[in-house]
Structure 1
């Protein structure tokens, strides 16, 4: 049973994150230390250096041979359930565009498992809970975050590859010359052409060309390599009992340890650039919280039950799905200009309400037992 001492441990783990966020917010809002151009540079530092090394450092030290494959199957099924629901939503309403589908998927499925999930689940379910949360983080880092990066790059490449040709209307004359008695009518302009409005003709790049551009850009993005190289090293090192050279590991750690802090700092700067603290508005904030704390865990529960998970494993799987929003998803959204205000609000308010929500889930699941 979780007690006040365990709650305090969770608070101790979360407060430093808000300290980094507050420094980022104050550096721009109160102290005017950075310009907008410098803020963009800070975000690129996070996206291209500290975050890839953080992902590599995390994935390189897991043991992929001891993963719970039933849990992996449940997690995969839950993601596909969300995809199907979003596809149906997009088909039934014009409000669901491709970019909103990406954001909704992030809100439902991507969690801040390492920073928040581990300290919250450990006092509830001990080593079992920590082990499953770590596995979910590995899956997210090696499969779902690269997939998110891919679809974001695909979205941006498709937008940038769209060309628009503008057709301008003909000018009106309706002119009649009868000067000197020997005049003659000038060419009459067709009424439909006179009233023709300016219109666009939109042409898109071929799908194959878009895909080629996407893979080319992903090949130059370090985030594409962090998780792949990390999990590759995990397989190799655990198979043949190898250790990473201390000089190399030290070089990686010196930057990777700054990953979470600089990500929160960047989010604080982004908040300071917004006119309102709740950048996306109260209605979108509520929708984001519902997707994060209800839709995501519900889909995960369906997937877990479908593969036969029971007992504490089932409970941990559901609770880890309700862990607050991934900071990495915000960093990617900020880099690609894809509604970062929604994800920043989800991260902030998700972390505020996550403690009572997760404790409530824990109590309900124990009662159901």
Structure 2
């Protein structure tokens, strides 16, 4: 049974995140240290350096030969259920959209298990719960965050490609009259100009997306880490200390710099609750109700039971992934909604998760 000491451990784990958040917020809102361009640069540092190294570091130290594959299958089924529902909503509802489907997927499936989930699940279910949470985090980093990156790149590449203006020599060319000054002299030259816009073919767009993903370290950091985990556990050797130290020097800053970047983003918004009350409530419903409900479907489908079933449902209600905010900010898609979900999610997660624990124990 979870006690006050266990609650204190969770508070100890979460508080440093808010310290980083407040420092980022204050450096723009109160102390005027960073400009908007510098804030964007910091977000790129997090997106392309600290988070990939953080993901590689914790992935490289798992044992892939002792993972609970039924638990992973349940997690996969739950996310497929969410994807199917969102696709149906985007196609069949007048309020549905591709962009909001991406954000809704993040809100309902991507969790911050390592920071909040590990200490709380350990207090509830011991080491077996911790092992399952770490496994779900690794799979999330390798598969689902890569999937999120893919759809974000697909969206941005399709938009960028289809809105390009091209100068070509055919009947669609129109002549633009030169602008004149007060005396009638030309001050601009004649110009010939034409998701007229063209929509790229599917395979052309796929090629663009995969090339961009190949240049994004987030898309393969966990894959490289998993390969190392297989090799090191198969032949029982350690990572060279020089490599380990080089990774750790930035990976240890991954979560902290991500929260700092979120503070910078919050300070640039007009309101503290950047997305408004209704969207905040929408995000909380997806995070704490839709996600666990989908996980319950997946867990029952594969036949999970006992503590493994309960851990699966509770870890699905862990607060929003910080990495999902970094991606939302980098790709310019509803970063205000994701940031609010991260902040409020961590504020309300403790009573919510304890309530889930009590309900599941009562049903047991």
- Using the size of structure 1 for normalisation, the TM-score is 0.90
CA distance in 2, matches of 1:335, 1:119: 30
Highest CA radius of gyration, 1 or 2?
1
Superposed CA deviations along residues 44-103 of structure 1, whole A, max 9, x for unmatched, are 000011000000001000000100011011001101100111111112213221111110
CA distance in 1, matches of 2:70, 2:218: 28
CA distance in 1, matches of 2:41, 2:162: 27
CA distance in 2, matches of 1:141, 1:86: 21
How far is the alpha carbon of 1:164 from its aligned partner? 7.0
Which of residues 203, 207, 226 in structure 2 aligns to 1:208? 203
Partner residue in 2 for 1:285: 280
Which of residues 205, 215, 224 in structure 2 aligns to 1:220? 215
Aligned counterparts, 1:244-263, within 5 A: 244-263=239-258
CA distance in 1, matches of 2:8, 2:53: 30
Q: What SS is found at the alignment partner of 1:151?
A: helix
Superposed CA deviations along residues 89-138 of structure 1, whole A, max 9, x for unmatched, are 11221322111111000111000011111011110000111011001001
Partner residue in 2 for 1:118: 118
Q: CA separation of 1:251/1:165 partners in 2, compared to 1, >3 Å: closer, same or farther?
A: closer
1:351 aligns with 2:325: no
CA distance in 2, matches of 1:16, 1:77: 34
Superposed CA deviations along residues 125-159 of structure 1, whole A, max 9, x for unmatched, are 00111011001001101110111111101110001
CA distance in 2, matches of 1:79, 1:333: 19
Partner residue in 2 for 1:193: none
Partner residue in 2 for 1:310: 305
Aligned counterparts, 1:1-369, within 5 A: 1-163=1-163, 201-369=196-364
Task: Compute the RMSD of aligned alpha carbons.
Answer: 1.6
Q: What SS is found at the alignment partner of 1:32?
A: coil
CA distance in 1, matches of 2:173, 2:70: 61
CA distance in 2, matches of 1:251, 1:135: 24
How far is the alpha carbon of 1:276 from its aligned partner? 0.6
> Runs of 5+ in structure 2 lacking a partner?
167-171, 175-194
Q: What SS is found at the alignment partner of 2:126?
A: helix
CA distance in 1, matches of 2:77, 2:313: 13
Q: What SS is found at the alignment partner of 1:203?
A: coil
CA distance in 2, matches of 1:280, 1:210: 31
CA distance in 1, matches of 2:294, 2:220: 29
Q: What SS is found at the alignment partner of 2:11?
A: helix
CA distance in 2, matches of 1:72, 1:87: 23
Aligned residues: 339
Q: CA separation of 1:149/1:61 partners in 2, compared to 1, >3 Å: closer, same or farther?
A: same
CA distance in 2, matches of 1:110, 1:163: 31
How far is the alpha carbon of 1:209 from its aligned partner? 1.3
CA distance in 2, matches of 1:120, 1:148: 27
Partner residue in 2 for 1:172: none
